Structure 1
Amino acid sequence: MPLPAQPSPETGVLYLGIDLGTSRTSVSASNGVRVTVPSFVGYPKDVVARKLLKKDVLFGDEALEKRLSLNLYRPLAEGVIKSSLESGKSNQIEAEANMRAARDLIAEIVRQARPRADELVYAVIGVPAQASINNKEAILEAAKECVDSAMLCSEPFSVAYGLDMLDDVLVIDIGAGTVDLCRMHGTMPEDADQVTMTTAGDFVDDNLERLIGERYPEAQVTRQMVKTMKERFGSINDNMDPCVVTMPVAGKPTQFDIKEEIKEACAAIVPPIVSGLQQLIATFDPEFQDKLKKRVLLAGGGSQIKGLDTAIEREMVERLGSGKVIRTEEPMYGGSNGALKIANDMPDEYWEQLR
């Protein structure tokens, strides 16, 4: 259901909470609009493609569907804008193309929030907990062309803020590019309170693609097919039903059961998550460590893997003595809802300083 429209202290201002994700980008707006768009941007390859598509840029599912006619970009990697310059390469054209795609993606998600022509747009954008200064500046640079004022916050903090869970809680926010952990203890989290790992949804996809290839080398499978399989069957329950999928073999559609591959690929994210939790717990005040273990909040798109909460609890009991994991009710909008709440709570003068 859409969020109820929230009154703005200043008329003519639309507040947005944006969860800028590697796989999906979500927005929650103060006018009640909530939208999620797969984080893909495509541009026609040539004049024939432009004539066929009748568009200069396509987004999300439409871009994926028409990807053979497009130069397709997934401009966010590990939750931040891809920059081949930062990775040590000299391909400035690629870096600029990803920056352009990120700008267009943010502009599209703002457009889908349906701001009025006479409204200012103030946005809070969630980013990975340990995003670098350069990456944060790149996101703000991409956003400034379509919003009047913007600020960034860490994704797990926005999830906790949206649920008013600001004291004695550990947040696990599982996206496609990163798993972000945050230790909340009644104040703004500092660097020592946060951990970012890359063993997230894309990591599961990597493992699943490899495992399918090892067991069924004759089958043809693409990364998008693997992602769809994971989203449909993702589970680490012991009593899983068969996971039957169809993949072509020499052009002939053939059925395969990938239950064991699904379970193994999804289970691989549990040990690193608990290692991160252990790091945050072990470095906290010893008198409050047990409280943290009893309030572990599981959020993000990756939290929808069946049995993940139970598996994390089991691993915590084995390694830390105890653990209690709570799933958020709205994994797709937890970050954007929290970012919207931050935007609404921010004093007007702060937004004016950022403009």
Structure 2
Amino acid sequence: MPRLDLIKKTRVIRSPRVIQLEGMFDLPTEKTSRQQWAVDMPIEDDDWNVGLIVGPSGCGKTSIARECFKNEMVSDFNWFQQKSIIDSFPEEMGIKEITALLSSVGFSSPPNWLRPFHVLSNGEQFRVSIARALAELPGIVVIDEFTSVVDRTVARIGSFAVARTVRKREQKFVAISCHFDIIEWLDPDWIYFPATNQFQWRSERQSRPPVTLEIINVHRKAWELFRKHHYLDSTIQKSANCFVALMDGQPAAFTAVIHFPHRQSPSFREHRTVCLPDFQGIGIGNALSEYIASLYACRKKYTSVTGHPAMIQYRAKSKNWKMIRKPSVVSRQKGLEKNGKRSVASSHERITAGFLYCGPRREREAREFGLI
């Protein structure tokens, strides 16, 4: 994109209050308010996927973006008032493609996928809107006020998840923001600073800022904070041993473990793992799951059965897990009383995969948690 000289004029209506204001601050009498920018963004000089226009309020970010990306600025989408958010995605998209895209931008909560857009939190609306923009707009996707309506934890984590998705899909995405704290997480290929008319290419990819988690053993009552975000039912076994991962002192993810008393090969089994929506997109749930597995594997085999597509995909590629049952439908049998006799009924069927943990063991940490 070549150099652009942009002039924005606005008529000034000299009302009594405006005249008073001119007198109070000795402002010159003007018929028009004039703003001018000399913009130099050579984004056509190299290949890129993610760009960032960043600066304080009033520096001209939006005006410049509207001139440079006239047809790519994303406006508000129309969402069904009553139907699930997934029904608002393009009809030609399959359900697997929709859910994969939602998961990739850090919105990986199947129960919330069923809800209408207007009942979602600000953070969830932020992510699902970007997912829909990436699904519907084949050219450059330009988002104004990027991360402005979410807290800074969601902003940073969401920025990383969005940038990773854009690069994986080989699309082009431009964020317009007044927040400088997202730069390390978004890791853009180029940045433009309208306040100083500075443009810079960032040819070397940066690693994601480190995330420190504190893992604590908790009472199963902690499940109340997480249960509505789990993709299965909301129950938890009374015998479950529960753990929570804290990020910056805030609960982020939950894992529960139960003993599986098999006659020939007793083992431990992952019972529940869920990451809160605000913390999805950087692998916290998988990190907690593997850490707890590494503790229990010091004693016996540790297995997990999951039906979550993103977790199945992650574990299938991980060296720390061995798939012991490929994704398939298994009917769970449940005993029922009927006319004084036991009968057998099939419960809800879903696609799940079974995994055996085969990664490193953390014996020292297992002792600290009192597991061995």
* TM-score between both structures, scaled by the size of structure 1: 0.25
- The structure that is strand-richer by fraction is 2
- The structure that is helix-richer by fraction is 1
Q: Which has the larger radius of gyration?
A: 2
* TM-score between both structures, scaled by the size of structure 2: 0.24
